Structure 1
Amino acid sequence: MTRTFRMDEAQPRLLDDTAQGVIGTPMDRPEGPLKVTGKAAYAADNLPEGLAHGALVRATITRGRIAGIDEDSIADLPGVIAVIRDDRFVRNPAQGMADEAPVQPGDRIDYHGQPIALVVGESYEAARDGALRLKVRYDEDAGAEVDPATASETEDGDPTESGDWDKAVAGATVSVDVTYTTPAQVSAAMEPHAAVAEWKADRLVLRGSQQMLRFNRNEIADSLGIDPEDVQILSPYIGGGFGSKLGIGSEAVSAAIAARELGRPVRVVMTRQTVFDAVLRRTETEQRVRFAADGEGRLLAIGHDDRISNLRDEEFAEPVSSASQFLYGADALLFRQTVARVHRTPAGSVRAPGEAVGMIAFESAMDELAEALEMCPVQLRLKNIPEKHPVTGQDFSARALAECLKTGADRFGWPGRTVPGSRREGDWMIGLGVASAARPNMLVKAAARVRLSAEGAVVETDMTDIGTGTYAIFAQIAAEMLGLPTGKVSVRLGDTDLPGASGSGGSFGASSSGSAVFLAARKIRETLAGKLGCSPEDLTLRDGIARGANHEAALSDLLDGELVEEAEIEEGKTAESHFSSGFGAHFAEVAVNAWTGEVRVRRMLGVFGIGRVLNEKTARSQAVGGMVWGVGSALHEDLVHDPRTGHVVTRDLANYHVAAHADIPADMQVEFLEERDDQANPMQSKGVGELGISGSGAAILNAIHNACGVRIRDLPATPDKLVAALEAATE
């Protein structure tokens, strides 16, 4: 029987007292050899007998309705099997938590590139050619608005505010009022969106690239009008997601509909251009950040307004000011958001939604305030760390922001305040920058099952591994709790027939689903303690030997067959009493070429407090990956839309620029502080995956200003913008 454990109070630090010594170590990924040798089967690698191939047909207008689809236009094309037209695969089902897929009811067209039909062929080439040649008639609406800056349909969210704004601003000695803009971005995961659907009697077996199977199962069942028990999703390996695979997409639903209609398996794989056109983007932003401070640098007022965009009827709104509302304290706070309704690809979660773009503006503006105060940016941040959450009044749980700033300044060789443009090496101007990092920590309901036998342990859960190291981390948790070498633990993931996990997203996967593994293993420990004749507190498990109360026995001698325990965890009272977040500090050194405007990142350091580190190697990899994305956000990434139709222009990795190897310094350092968060979960851990991107781009922008004395507020900071700014500064 599975009982749900609620986080209602601070938890004891059991993992500090276990004896196996594998938790937190830089263990290699057990599935790594499969991946590097090409033996790990991703969604599109599954080729059941009789497989047909599907290619999505996409709208060539921006707004209107489908007047008709001429299936006869490709009837004579060799290899084409059918044209599948069904409203269900262009409509968003009931999403639950993963409310990330677009809504296009009926024949309505809301954006250029919207999936509207599926052509199925005996080969991919036949399906692709059919999709390109299929004739579609439209009733086009010429009133499509595609520019968020001029959109007439806007919605204002409820403002978050406290204190007397006018009084606080009037009493300030120094104030900053600046506007930053960030462009739209895309996830562009290594593995394109893909699905293979096969019906076995009345049960759908879907092999897909999905992040949150417990939710995805309900979504596709709702789309198809069937019971969730009649759906099995298999996603053992996923080549990245970054939020783009949170919800069920058109590739999965269309494949399922086509497979049922044709009575054979169907595979649908999006091309890279289709991913850019039809999968969720991160919204562009226009952000106004205001700070007012006294002469000593104490903040009196903090304001952060943002304007974002999405399709009409879409509920998702990028939480731009999420971290701004708790990072620093002030007498008066004001946060407002406006959503412009435009006919562009739907906006949704992209890695670190909110913080990734919000903190790049907020922390850059904080640097501008430090300059206006003639104050060290590190000292300004330290001076304004609040005692409690400024908006909710909650106590913070473990919070290492001050220590991260101090430790980082020491490790990086931070000189304090320096005059912009004071350091030069030939044609290169050198500068340093700093920014805080923050990302709220969440505990999401999750379940897991652990089996223990004389041969070892097995962990079972439908949790996914999108490249974050889940296989390794869960093996370490079970091995540590049960006193086994990690080689004696196998991990089964990515199958909805297993206990439902939190899924991968929001940096909550390892801690939420890992806590379920921890709790199931703890139940087994309690049983073993009873068999050995000691209390669970006195039990020590190491290398397959149990010790306690002056007794010792091999685990195999305590087992009569197999011990099986299942556990489920969800948030409780600690989420109400305490605010849990990961914190950090980013430091960067850049060189700016005085003539070409080229920016080279020379070195970066990220110092983070993430509670207990579960696997040092995978955590470091996640932090570095986030910092790399921060480089891209500051210097490269720009999803450009055609101003006439709103369709994506930079729709592949040849035109959408991401950081390349040469853009990333060899000196990319990450340091984790020793920390435990007793209110977060029973393992005292917190998320790391999105913390690395939160603030890192701002550290680079601040370093650029320190190098050459100009601010780039319209991102990305490309060479043409820097050259223009440098020329303007000399006029």
Structure 2
Amino acid sequence: MTETPVRDRPARERTGRSVGRPIDRVDGPAKTTGTARFSAEYPYPDIAYAALVHATITRGRITGIGAEEALAVPGVLAVITHTNAPPMKPPPPVSVLNLSSLASGSKVNYLNTDEVHWSGQPVAVVVAETQEAAAQAAGLVRVTYQESPATVDFAGEQGNATPQKSNPLQQGEGHKGDAEAALAAAPVSVDLRYTTPPHHHNAMEPHATTAAWDGDRLTVHDGTQNIGWLRTALAQRFGVPAEGVRVIAPFVGGAFGGKTMVWAGTVLTVLAARVTGRAVRMTLTREGVYRTVGGRTPSAQRVALGAGADGRLTALIHTSVTQVGRVGGSPEQVTSQSRHLYDAAAILVQQRIVELDMLSNTVMRAPGESIGTFALEAAVDELACELGMDPIELRMRNEPERNPIDGKRFSHRMLREAYALGAERFGWADRTAPPGSMRDGRWLVGMGVASAYHPSWEMAANVTVRMSADGTVLVRCGFHEMGMGGATAQGQIAADALGVPFEAVRVEYGDSDLPTGPGAGGSAQTASVAASLTKACEKLRRSLLALARRSAGSPLRGARPGEVEARDGGLHRAGHPGSGESYAAILTRAGRPFAEAAVGSDTRAGTVAGQVRFMSKFLMDRRRWMKAACGAQFCEVRVDQDTGEVRVSRWVGAFDVGRVINAKTAASQLRGGIVMGIGMALSEETLVDPRNGRIMNPSLAEYHVPVHADIPPIDVCYLDEPDPTMPLGLVGIGEVGITGAAAAVANAVHHATGRRVRDLPITLDKLL
């Protein structure tokens, strides 16, 4: 497995710098020894436990709740329903001018209404002395309903889809020229329909919350991906000041988007703690996660491509229909990559949505691009077959110099180089073109390829950096650790910025008492924190230099900032060995125990300023540049000629993700995305009853994620070339790995068998 380019690693290691090195994660020992504490593991005296009661109808009103049997269970403290729950404020209207308004997974004011909006909505909470008693009593709560008509059949409602509205964060439609006319006139064309089913995240740690009130002060332990949003949302719902809410989340056991929003389990745990006056813990069952936490929307997509005999695209049309809940959810950017990947003469992208009486959908790893690249990249492969052209050659022949629709410059794009690197490592030249032409005994062998793509984001982040007189550094920022090695990467960045050993840096994160960090989403956290961290380190260096310059005995007396560099644990005149001073000496001579610098503020004015800073930079960058990570996915499959069993036997992923901060964690993130893409291609599917919208396979026993035996060795490589417009040149890694992966599998299956499967997942029945 390749974790950093061979040509680059020796040079990096000779310099002794931290950025780029495969440093072990600082949270590794705690997680492997079991000392890492997750949200359901914080001890509180006299803690109680809560369990949910779910609605068994799709839409209607509650006409009665019988709690007598539940209350008779030994240890039960309370059964909270809409008849006795204290009032909460409803979620605020969603506005892109107030990003924290996006926090609520649903518009429903849980237990403050007798209305039911989807099958599985919480209609009661049982609180007991033990988790077992709470679960037993929850099964004894009797609820009667008056049902109302409901609309839940995604396939049947696609004809009623409406155009998606555009906003500053997402565009519903885009075009260049008359793509339909160009398609009709094209010498060679394909016009195809693809579908993807609903998906669920299935993090290793189910959603769990521990909540404790002390008067109007609230402490919450929750596996959230956005501490700031959760804090603001709970303060708003319960009518308390945000500064009185503390959210603690140092470790999150997987999330993939499912813990971005604030879902019913968290809100109702806090409510139960307020009602009972005790600390309360709720850990959702696997089924409870499916019933109350949104997943990925299903999609129906049309991709139509027209080309000349030389393979030059004359038309590209990509339209989609996706689903949102009537009580919440947001559209996915399914056609996003189709605006940027190919230089077609005429382009039309359009997204439509249907509203259903279902639990709100939510973001899931690479929302939009993960399923959108399946359709687009499978269609490109089908066009290559029509043309009799190598799939890579077709892609490279249509590689744009500028963004195809609006002509904006790419800030950084090395997709050609990624394809060249991946093809060489994979052995693409050994592939024979005709489907079914490669065999190994009873196995039909196929090779497939697809482009990966994910846009680059940067959020606001508040950071403080402290240098102590003992030479150690403390970085403080309330970002998140979901398994990607965030604290390790930021420690590496701070070490290089201040010229100290990595071991001298400690990073505090995962707590709302720290400076507010960005949410962990959009592959943006590392870049967002890095931008503020490098600025804070620069301010700190200048502050320390100012101290040194005022000291009569300092070798840096009179030095200007441009003449000084940070290295060897201190400040030194550039190009003059031995002409510097350690940080410890500077602080000791000045009689200071430490020096500190900050970027951003958590005051009310600072919060507004941070929001303005994010939106203005986002809109300015959007006008000037197209920023994205990209790559090439190479897949080999073996298909049993008799049974249709598909096995992925080899994989190479070659990526252009800008500067890589940590070779080990970067490779792990890319590899994890590919594993998720393989699951999406071959097995993952949330089954929904089209009569009532009820999920029929709400468990890992029936929702099939890949296991170790399903995954081959995955060779991950990357170019490690910085994007000059991004902090430290890094672009974002967490999500690009899943994009293109399902298409690469589908294309390989077609090459092996000659069968084209356009409806995921690719199961045996679709091949036999």
Report the TM-score, using the length of structure 2 for normalisation: 0.89
* Per-residue Cα deviation, 1:452-492 (whole angstroms, up to 9, x for no partner): 10230111111011111111111111111112222211111
1:179–1:288 Cα contact (<8 Å) kept: yes
1:463–1:501 Cα contact (<8 Å) kept: yes
Q: Which residue among 435, 438, 457 is the counterpart of 2:473? A: 457
Secondary structure (helix, strand or coil) at the match of 1:640 reads coil
Percent of aligned pairs sharing the same letter: 39
Could you tell me how far 1:562 is from its partner in structure 2? 0.8
2:565 maps to 540
- The answer to whether 1:442 aligns with 2:457 is yes
- The answer to whether 1:138 aligns with 2:138 is no
1:505 maps to 521
1:476-487 equivalences under 5 Å are 476-487=492-503
1:674 maps to 720
How far, CA to CA, are the matches of 1:17 and 1:598 in structure 2? 45
- The answer to whether 1:660 aligns with 2:685 is no
2:741 maps to 696
2:210–2:221 Cα contact (<8 Å) kept: yes
How far, CA to CA, are the matches of 2:665 and 2:41 in structure 1? 25
* Per-residue Cα deviation, 1:339-386 (whole angstroms, up to 9, x for no partner): 122223321101110011110111001000011011111011111122
1:379 maps to 393
Write the letter of the residue equivalent to 2:119: H
* Per-residue Cα deviation, 1:640-690 (whole angstroms, up to 9, x for no partner): 112332111111111100111011002x10111031111123x11111010
Write the letter of the residue equivalent to 1:102: S
1:587–1:605 Cα contact (<8 Å) kept: yes
Could you tell me how far 1:84 is from its partner in structure 2? 2.0
1:100–1:246 Cα contact (<8 Å) kept: no
Secondary structure (helix, strand or coil) at the match of 1:43 reads coil
How far, CA to CA, are the matches of 2:719 and 2:173 in structure 1? 35
Could you tell me how far 1:18 is from its partner in structure 2? 13
2:757 maps to 712
* Per-residue Cα deviation, 1:667-720 (whole angstroms, up to 9, x for no partner): x10111031111123x11111010000001111111111111110111111122
How far, CA to CA, are the matches of 2:217 and 2:720 in structure 1? 48
Write the letter of the residue equivalent to 1:393: G
* Pair 606,687 (structure 1): closer, same or farther in 2 beyond 3 Å: same
| Structure 1 gaps, min length 5 | 1-14, 724-731
1:150 maps to 156
* Pair 112,90 (structure 1): closer, same or farther in 2 beyond 3 Å: farther
Larger deviation: 312-321 or 647-656?
A: 312-321
Write the letter of the residue equivalent to 1:171: A
1:202–1:230 Cα contact (<8 Å) kept: yes
Secondary structure (helix, strand or coil) at the match of 1:286 reads strand
Could you tell me how far 1:110 is from its partner in structure 2? 1.5
How far, CA to CA, are the matches of 1:288 and 1:258 in structure 2? 47
* Pair 198,126 (structure 1): closer, same or farther in 2 beyond 3 Å: same
Write the letter of the residue equivalent to 2:581: A
Q: Which residue among 72, 87, 94 is the counterpart of 1:76? A: 72
Report the TM-score, using the length of structure 1 for normalisation: 0.93
| Structure 2 gaps, min length 5 | 1-10, 165-171, 549-555, 601-609
- The answer to whether 1:348 aligns with 2:376 is no
Write the letter of the residue equivalent to 1:678: P
- The answer to whether 1:364 aligns with 2:368 is no
Secondary structure (helix, strand or coil) at the match of 2:374 reads helix
Larger deviation: 529-538 or 693-702?
A: 529-538
How far, CA to CA, are the matches of 1:536 and 1:215 in structure 2? 38
- The answer to whether 1:624 aligns with 2:649 is no
- The answer to whether 1:516 aligns with 2:532 is yes
Write the letter of the residue equivalent to 2:129: E
2:130 maps to 123
Secondary structure (helix, strand or coil) at the match of 2:31 reads helix
Secondary structure (helix, strand or coil) at the match of 2:162 reads strand
Could you tell me how far 1:94 is from its partner in structure 2? 5.4
How far, CA to CA, are the matches of 1:520 and 1:84 in structure 2? 48
1:632-651 equivalences under 5 Å are 632-651=679-698
2:191–2:303 Cα contact (<8 Å) kept: yes
2:306 maps to 292
2:628 maps to 581
How far, CA to CA, are the matches of 1:635 and 1:538 in structure 2? 58
2:106–2:329 Cα contact (<8 Å) kept: no
2:12–2:21 Cα contact (<8 Å) kept: no
Q: Which residue among 7, 26, 44 is the counterpart of 2:22? A: 26
Larger deviation: 671-680 or 621-630?
A: 671-680
2:182 maps to 168
* Per-residue Cα deviation, 1:101-121 (whole angstroms, up to 9, x for no partner): 022253221111111221100
1:610–1:687 Cα contact (<8 Å) kept: yes
* Per-residue Cα deviation, 1:153-187 (whole angstroms, up to 9, x for no partner): 53222532220224312331100111111111000
Could you tell me how far 1:217 is from its partner in structure 2? 1.0
Write the letter of the residue equivalent to 2:528: S
Secondary structure (helix, strand or coil) at the match of 2:585 reads helix
* Pair 627,535 (structure 1): closer, same or farther in 2 beyond 3 Å: farther
Q: Which residue among 104, 111, 125 is the counterpart of 2:108? A: 104
2:553 maps to none
Cα-Cα RMSD: 2.0
Could you tell me how far 1:197 is from its partner in structure 2? 0.6
How far, CA to CA, are the matches of 1:302 and 1:18 in structure 2? 48
2:446–2:753 Cα contact (<8 Å) kept: yes
1:44 maps to 40
How far, CA to CA, are the matches of 2:269 and 2:762 in structure 1? 41
Could you tell me how far 1:602 is from its partner in structure 2? 1.0
* Pair 20,426 (structure 1): closer, same or farther in 2 beyond 3 Å: closer
How far, CA to CA, are the matches of 2:645 and 2:447 in structure 1? 16
How far, CA to CA, are the matches of 1:481 and 1:43 in structure 2? 33
Secondary structure (helix, strand or coil) at the match of 2:290 reads helix
How far, CA to CA, are the matches of 1:673 and 1:100 in structure 2? 38
1:445–1:512 Cα contact (<8 Å) kept: yes
* Pair 265,93 (structure 1): closer, same or farther in 2 beyond 3 Å: farther
How far, CA to CA, are the matches of 1:246 and 1:429 in structure 2? 42
How far, CA to CA, are the matches of 1:107 and 1:525 in structure 2? 59
2:105–2:329 Cα contact (<8 Å) kept: no
How far, CA to CA, are the matches of 1:89 and 1:268 in structure 2? 19
1:20–1:542 Cα contact (<8 Å) kept: no
Q: Which residue among 555, 561, 566 is the counterpart of 2:583? A: 555
How far, CA to CA, are the matches of 1:561 and 1:69 in structure 2? 62
Could you tell me how far 1:393 is from its partner in structure 2? 2.7
Could you tell me how far 1:91 is from its partner in structure 2? 5.8
Write the letter of the residue equivalent to 2:512: T
Could you tell me how far 1:412 is from its partner in structure 2? 1.3
1:152-551 equivalences under 5 Å are 154-157=161-164, 159-415=173-429, 418-455=433-470, 456-530=472-546, 531=548, 532-533=556-557, 534-548=559-573, 550=576, 551=579
Write the letter of the residue equivalent to 2:272: A
Could you tell me how far 1:225 is from its partner in structure 2? 1.8
Write the letter of the residue equivalent to 1:120: V
How far, CA to CA, are the matches of 2:33 and 2:425 in structure 1? 38
How far, CA to CA, are the matches of 1:90 and 1:369 in structure 2? 53
Counting matched residue pairs gives: 706
How far, CA to CA, are the matches of 2:104 and 2:390 in structure 1? 41
How far, CA to CA, are the matches of 1:520 and 1:176 in structure 2? 53
Larger deviation: 164-173 or 691-700?
A: 164-173
* Pair 639,209 (structure 1): closer, same or farther in 2 beyond 3 Å: same
Larger deviation: 453-462 or 615-624?
A: 453-462
* Per-residue Cα deviation, 1:386-426 (whole angstroms, up to 9, x for no partner): 22222333211011111111221122111276111111111
